[in-house]
Amino acid sequence: MNNDLKKNIGFLAALSTVVGLVIGGGVFFKPQAIYAATDGAPGLGIIAWIIGGLVTITGGLTAAEISAAIPKTGGMMVHIEEFYGKKMGFLAGWMQTFLFFPGTTAALAVIFSKQAAELLGQNPENLTVILPIAIGVILFLAILNTVGSSLGGKIQTIATICKLIPLVLIIVFGFIKGNSIAIFTPMVGPKATVSSALGQTLIATLFAYEGWINVGTIAGEMKNPGKDLPKAIVGGLSIVMLVYILINIAYLWVAPANELAVAVSPAGLVATRLFGSIGGKIITIGIMISVFGSLNGYLLTAPRVPYTLAKNGTLPGDKILSKVNKGGSPYNSVWLIAILSCIYALSGKFNLLSDLTIFTVWIFYVLTFIGVMKFRKEKPDLYRPYKVPLYPVIPIIAILGGLFVVFNQIITSTAISLGGIMITLIGLPVYSYKKNLK
């Protein structure tokens, strides 16, 4: 029951929650995709980190309004249902269950396995080497999260501490040892244009900023959400954006953009140059722990979506997927996400998987932003402990930013986009079939 939520979260706790939710593995690996898209030039890449951060902040401020007003378990899926009805709510949950969560988990497992291969002196592009590692880490974490949520929570705490260490060390020593160079010029290389590369760079940065949608879920436990939630969102995401910009400047001061564009692990390359072979490996292990923590986070939280759908009787196999063991784990839902993640991981393509998931989830983010404005008109008397500041400017910026990303991806990466849309739309006949059985 929402009435049982204790309002004990203050501003600082909310601020740290925002930072902890967002910073993950993307900042260590996405520079490769960004500078590949700019043809080895730094300028547009740095600008993309700034624009991606601003779009994320406006999105967080907008989505938090509905999270504060209706703080129900289920997050975006529940809010889409509130805005557009049960069918659209199911479709959001279906997309998260069969595409976003397993696709993102697979992407992280692939990059984890590539880092492991490099540490072991193996070819990180050799699928026979990386796939067993990727699938193995997914299955290992699935077993841990089947035991219960408390163990997964402890792993998260350790990983959160470990992911800050390589970030701080690379930023500090990158500025001390690196050479100051122009970071805004050239904007793009000779084989790229700003118009063609901007969408690709934004998709890459938005993967690194992913996690912001969950920020609003703490609203029901905040002492003063109307005052503290917007400050926590703006402050927390501003800190994340600053950290991302600083570490990318540090990357560029140690290794030029054209080298980062071809590195499997840009952060690993920079760490090796800063700290030598052994020091670089230690930093790489820290990065792997960070990715491991992100992986665990998805396998800890993602099963709640198919579990909720199963409890509602809208998902095939609902009686099986809605089961919970003595440890409080929806164990069959955990294994559904894990098996799907293993299937996606067989591609061995980190950037392809992350682009696919970010494109599709941003369609529903845009629908969420539109829904916030829709509810302002349809339910003006709804109690809102927090309202979007500068309304309607902030939601409109979030909507326009999201639409640019979505339509640009459709134009520049049509096959990936259509694949994501098709997987999502498969949910419609499934919903109709389950509804007819009732």
DSSP 262: T
Number of domains in the chain: 1
Q: Among residues 159, 64, 105, which one has the least CA distance to residue 295? A: 105
Taking only the tens place, the pLDDT of each residue in 31-54 is: 999 999 999 999 999 999 999 999
Model confidence at 3, pLDDT cuts 50, 70, 90, reads very low
In this model, does residue 422 exceed pLDDT 60?
yes
In this model, does residue 365 exceed pLDDT 80?
yes
The pLDDT > 70 percentage for the chain reads 93
pLDDT for the residue 218:
65
CATH number of the domain to which 274 belongs? 1.20.1740.10
3-state secondary structure of 348: coil
Lowest-confidence range among 223-237, 238-252, 359-373?
A: 223-237
Q: Does residue 151 or residue 383 have the better pLDDT?
A: 383
Q: Among residues 143, 52, 131, 122, which one has the least CA distance to residue 401? A: 52
| Contact by Cβ (8 Å): 33, 263 | no
Lowest-confidence range among 158-172, 247-261, 351-365?
A: 158-172
Q: From the centroid of its chain, how far is CA 190?
A: 31
pLDDT for the residue 1:
36
CA dist 248 and 241 (Å) reads: 11
The pLDDT > 90 percentage for the chain reads 60
pLDDT for the residue 4:
46
In this model, does residue 5 exceed pLDDT 50?
no
Model confidence at 298, pLDDT cuts 50, 70, 90, reads confident
Identity of the residue numbered 83: F
Residue 251 lies in domain:
2-437
Taking only the tens place, the pLDDT of each residue in 317-358 is: 889 998 888 877 888 999 999 999 999 999 999 999 999 999
Model confidence at 296, pLDDT cuts 50, 70, 90, reads confident
In this model, does residue 55 exceed pLDDT 60?
yes
pLDDT for the residue 2:
40
Q: What average pLDDT does the chain have?
A: 89
Lowest-confidence range among 14-18, 84-88, 313-317, 366-370?
A: 14-18
pLDDT for the residue 152:
57
pLDDT for the residue 133:
97
pLDDT for the residue 290:
84
145: Cβ contacts below 8 Å, ≥ 6 apart: 151, 152, 296, 299, 300, 303, 329, 334
Region 48-63: what's the mean pLDDT? Answer: 94
Model confidence at 12, pLDDT cuts 50, 70, 90, reads confident
In this model, does residue 216 exceed pLDDT 90?
no
In this model, does residue 399 exceed pLDDT 90?
yes
211-240 in b/e form (b: 16+ CB < 10 A) is bbbbbbbbbbbbeebeebbbebbbbbbebb
Q: Which CA distances in Å does 78 have to 85, 92, 202?
A: 10, 9, 27
CA dist 306 and 309 (Å) reads: 5
Region 271-290: what's the mean pLDDT? Answer: 90
Cross-strand bridge partners of residue 9:
222
pLDDT for the residue 148:
59
pLDDT for the residue 154:
65
Q: Among residues 134, 283, 100, which one has the least CA distance to residue 126? A: 134
Identity of the residue numbered 155: I
Region 422-430: what's the mean pLDDT? Answer: 95
Q: Which CA distances in Å does 240 have to 27, 46, 119, 276?
A: 10, 14, 28, 27
In this model, does residue 114 exceed pLDDT 50?
yes
